[in-house]
Structure 1
Amino acid sequence: MLDFLADVGETVLSTLRDVTPIVVILVVFQVVVLRSRLPNIRGIATGSVMVLLGLALFLIGLEQALFPIGETMAQQLTEKAGAGAGALAGAVRWQDYWVVYLFAAAIGFATTVAEPSLIAVALKAKEVSGGAVNAWGLRIAVAVGVAIGVSLGCFRIVTGTPLPWYIVVAYVVVIIQTFLSSRTIIPLAYDSGGVTTSTVTVPVVAALGLGLAANVPGRSPLIDGFGLIAFASVFPIISVLGYAIVADGLERWRRRSDRQEVEP
């Protein structure tokens, strides 16, 4: 219990050091540059304390729950895959780790759908577009991209292939899709890659990558364990742009069919 309280105190102090510069910048800008008094000082102080405690508790939760769960699941799934014929022969066969890819896709999809930042962006996009952008459809499209990206990232860890190969090819696809997509969806698609790497997705995905690299023979957590976040960032852009291209194509086909039915 004493060790836990000591960890809490240390985390709170560390968070205070991180948050203080932000508060100082905001206060100085308000008072010196804008030359106006701070509105609702009591509310600002209360909110700052809540932010401090919230961040501290969140960081403690990561260390106590999310990171251990991700690493444990990766270890257990890797051991299950390692019991296959490939492990007995002394070689790592990517086919033996299919359950890892399936789990990575499932956890990537689930964490992204529940990502608060993505929910906020999707609702705002629906509001600004007047309902043209479906909030739930956007969340699903982004989640599918993350699921594919994280699963492919786990495949890269298992096979030990270089990370730049995947990222370069992925961004080439993004560039091609950009020229084929409507201008209205491109900024939203690009932002979708950023909002996925937030409070819920990053801890679980990072722990999964590190745990997988630590348990696959011949892989290094330092060299191979990182990089899943890059996959989780670029593939949502691909999925959203792909969804928009397909939707636009279907809409044009529907309009063409309607015109043909009207014409004698």
Structure 2
Amino acid sequence: MTLWSDISELSWSFVGVLRDVAPIVVVMFVFQLVILRRKIPHLRQVLFGLLYVVLGLAFFLFGLERALFPLGREMAAQLTDPTFVGIAEGDTVNWLAYYWVYTFAFAIGFATTIAEPSLIAVALKAQEVSGGGVKAFGLRLAVALGVALSLAVGTFRIVTGTPLYLYMIAGYIIVVIQTLAAPRMIVPLAYDSGGVTTSTVTVPLVAALGLGLAGSVPGRSPLLDGFGLIALASLFPMITVMGYAQISGWLARRAAARASAPPQGDTS
């Protein structure tokens, strides 16, 4: 594509972002000026900040369309190529042959979640509010592991063609059981951790992977089978975060029991 077409597409992306951000700006300004009847503090900085937000989102969306979405489709097509998988055309789909797809989904899910800005923000705030009781990096690892597992399971679902609701029902049954057993402090954080995974970095790659995979596996429909990975990516982190808290609590109790136990050979 020519430079002019790139500039034209970027311009339309900028206009679209400006249109989407406009209602937020209007609501904020109306409440500040009409409801609260106060001037907007540091108006110049606010306007420059809004401009940076619009430019950043425009470049981000432009990059998604040009890089991440095509890359996800290309990776899915290559990993499911009959020559690479070792399946002759016309053969039935063997889910065992797609092990590289599950491995790639696990790896990309872990990597994108670790880099997710919204998760970093939540993890740092959780560590700050808990006084260090919740470690930011430990929380990020737990959430990233949950997303990685969810994508591996989700790609398995696409390959096998099994219904999504079965995975969702089973997953939420586990969440309910864990909610009753996990420390009360961690439950709301675990639920929020499931939401922060569906943000700027994770969603585009997950959507591209799901649609690309569903379009490459024989007998699968991108519309029926390509979506659903994001739902699983929101579910599994709840399980792993509460599991992380439960395991940490069990290890702490075990260490405390060992410390309070009398030394072996002590007859006093």
TM-score normalised by length of structure 1: 0.96
Deviates more, 1:177-186 or 1:31-40: 31-40
The one-letter amino acid of 1:69's match is L
CA-atom RMSD, angstroms? 1.4
Q: State the match for 2:6 in structure 1.
A: 4
Q: State the match for 2:217 in structure 1.
A: 216
Q: State the match for 1:19 in structure 2.
A: 21
Q: State the match for 2:34 in structure 1.
A: 32
Alpha-carbon contact 2:93-2:159 (below 8 Å) kept: yes
Deviations 1:18-73 (A, max 9, x none): 01110000000011111111111111111111111111111001001111111100
In the alignment, the residues of structure 2 paired with residue 11 and residue 255 of structure 1 have an alpha-carbon distance, to the nearest angstrom, of: 57
Q: State the match for 1:75 in structure 2.
A: 77
The one-letter amino acid of 1:194's match is G
Displacement of 1:4: 1.1
SS at match of 1:223: helix
Deviations 1:164-207 (A, max 9, x none): 00011101100100000011111111111111111111111110
SS at match of 2:199: coil
Alpha-carbon contact 1:118-1:192 (below 8 Å) kept: yes
Displacement of 1:260: 2.0
Unaligned runs of 5+ in 1: none
Q: State the match for 1:239 in structure 2.
A: 240
Deviations 1:138-164 (A, max 9, x none): 111111100000010000000000000
In the alignment, the residues of structure 2 paired with residue 64 and residue 157 of structure 1 have an alpha-carbon distance, to the nearest angstrom, of: 25
- Spell out the pairing of 1:1-264 with structure 2 (5 A cutoff): 1-79=3-81, 83-85=85-87, 87-88=88-89, 90-261=91-262, 264=268
In the alignment, the residues of structure 1 paired with residue 173 and residue 83 of structure 2 have an alpha-carbon distance, to the nearest angstrom, of: 33
TM-score normalised by length of structure 2: 0.95
Displacement of 1:83: 4.0
SS at match of 1:19: helix
Alpha-carbon contact 2:106-2:152 (below 8 Å) kept: yes
Displacement of 1:82: 6.1
Give % identity.
57
The one-letter amino acid of 1:168's match is I
SS at match of 1:204: helix
SS at match of 1:38: coil
In the alignment, the residues of structure 1 paired with residue 42 and residue 241 of structure 2 have an alpha-carbon distance, to the nearest angstrom, of: 41
Deviations 1:206-232 (A, max 9, x none): 100000000000000000000100111
In the alignment, the residues of structure 2 paired with residue 42 and residue 157 of structure 1 have an alpha-carbon distance, to the nearest angstrom, of: 50
The one-letter amino acid of 1:111's match is T
Aligned length: 263
Displacement of 1:88: 4.8
The one-letter amino acid of 2:145's match is V
Q: Return structure 1 stretches of 4+ with deviation > 6 angstroms.
A: none
